[in-house]
Amino acid sequence: MKNLFVLLAIFPFMVSCNGQNDPNYKYSDQETEQFLNEITKNAKVSITDITEIKKQPTDEFGIITRCPLSKKEVDEYHKNHGTIVVKDDNIYDFASYILKDFELTNENNEKLQFIDNGRSKNLQGLPLGEYEKILYQNLGVVFKLNKKFEKLNGFIKIGFKMPNGMEKEIKIPVNITINDKIPE
């Protein structure tokens, strides 16, 4: 009976953390669509920072993307001399992804598979960046494969989903090597 009580006590918390129909999601359909368009337009595959440094065969790589900061965030950035307060209600905090399809091969023409590394299925905030005089929040997802590679080719079809039900899918070409540089 005690275990049932604990389960009933934490069930609402588990459901609220699911992200679907999140009551904390305050963004309009227009803002959501604009966000999804930005992250899919800017999405690309990249090696990780560790791979860039070590230049050794690896089983990890990432998808990186970006979205422009809101006017409020840009104002805060300038007011605080290049910093903003990290919050947990940014639009990207609500974005989840699902792998729809993929085909990945290494330099030996071996087919590689994703393995579940227990990481979040959400976009992760990375350092801010400026591109063409616009401030962006860089975002990313790191993936782990079942085999190492020096060169990775193929494609990934990924869908980004928001709590309001909006979703956008993109097919990203994969053509990376351990000698690449991480895009600025």
Pick the CATH number of 43-177 from 1.10.287, 2.60.40, 3.40.1180, 1.10.40: 2.60.40
Give this prediction's pTM: 0.83
Sequence spans of domains, the chain: 43-177
Q: What is the pLDDT of residues 132-184, one digit of tens each?
A: 999 999 999 999 999 999 999 999 999 999 999 999 999 999 999 999 999 87
Q: What is the mean pLDDT of the chain?
A: 88
Q: How far is CA 104 from CA 18, 56, 97, in A?
A: 30, 19, 18
Query: Does residue 6 surpass a pLDDT of 70?
Result: no
Residues in the chain: 184
Residue 23 banded pLDDT, cuts 50, 70, 90: confident
**In 10 A of CB 171, how many CB atoms?**
13
Residue 119 banded pLDDT, cuts 50, 70, 90: confident
Beta strands in the chain (DSSP E): 44-46, 58-68, 96-106, 111-112, 114-115, 124-131, 134-149, 151-161, 167-177
Query: Which is more confidently placed, 67 or 21?
Result: 67
pLDDT at 128: 93
Amino acid type, 171:
K
Helix (H) or strand (E) holding 2: helix 2-16
